[in-house]
Amino acid sequence: MAQEPEYEVLFYEMRDGFSPTDDFLDSLSAKVRGKLEKWIEQLEIHGPNLPRPFADTVRDKIRELRLRWGSNHFRFLYFFVGKKIVITHGFLKKTAQVPEAEINRAIRYMNDFLIRLGKGDIQL
């Protein structure tokens, strides 16, 4: 029996409607995208309880979903707003550490999301 999700995953969208996460997923083969989407579903089910090596805290409220397909290491950065999980973006990790630029990008997107949420521009 499949577990019911306790959380809901949302993909961050810029003011113009562009979603960096959708854009990243669209750049991948259907097979790889399908595998990554299965792990996003696991994140919805387990939320903050999804264990290492699949998830980890990067900095402050920014977390990472850590996925491997062959020799490729995929990362999705995200944060929580109550029972919502907002994935800011995804990328192919090529270094030992999550690049500082990717963390800063996630923080920028999170701050934008929270400001717009506070103003009522985003409805949850």
* Structure tokens belonging to residue 39: 């792990």
Give me the mean pLDDT over the 70-94 stretch. 95
> What pLDDT, on the 0 to 100 scale, is given for residue 1?
52
d(CA 107, CA 118): 16
Measure Cα distances from 44 to 70, 111, 115, 121 in Å: 24, 22, 24, 24
Give the number of other CB atoms < 10 A from CB of residue 2: 6
pLDDT of 69 higher than 90: no
> What is the CATH architecture of 8-119?
2-Layer Sandwich (3.30)
> What pLDDT, on the 0 to 100 scale, is given for residue 54?
92
pTM, to two decimals = 0.93
What are 111-124's pLDDT values in tens digits?
Answer: 999 999 999 999 98
d(CA 95, CA 85): 25
> What pLDDT, on the 0 to 100 scale, is given for residue 4?
80
| Confidence label for 95 from pLDDT (cuts 50, 70 and 90) | confident
> What pLDDT, on the 0 to 100 scale, is given for residue 70?
85
What are 15-35's pLDDT values in tens digits?
Answer: 999 999 999 999 999 999 999
> 67-106 as b/e, with b when 16 or more CB fall inside 10 Å?
beeeeeebbbbbbeeeeebbbbbbbebeeeebeeebbebb
Nearest to 66 by CA among 58, 74, 88: 74
* Sheet of 55-59, strands arranged across: 8-11, 84-93, 72-81, 62-69, 55-59
d(CA 22, CA 94): 20
| Confidence label for 5 from pLDDT (cuts 50, 70 and 90) | confident
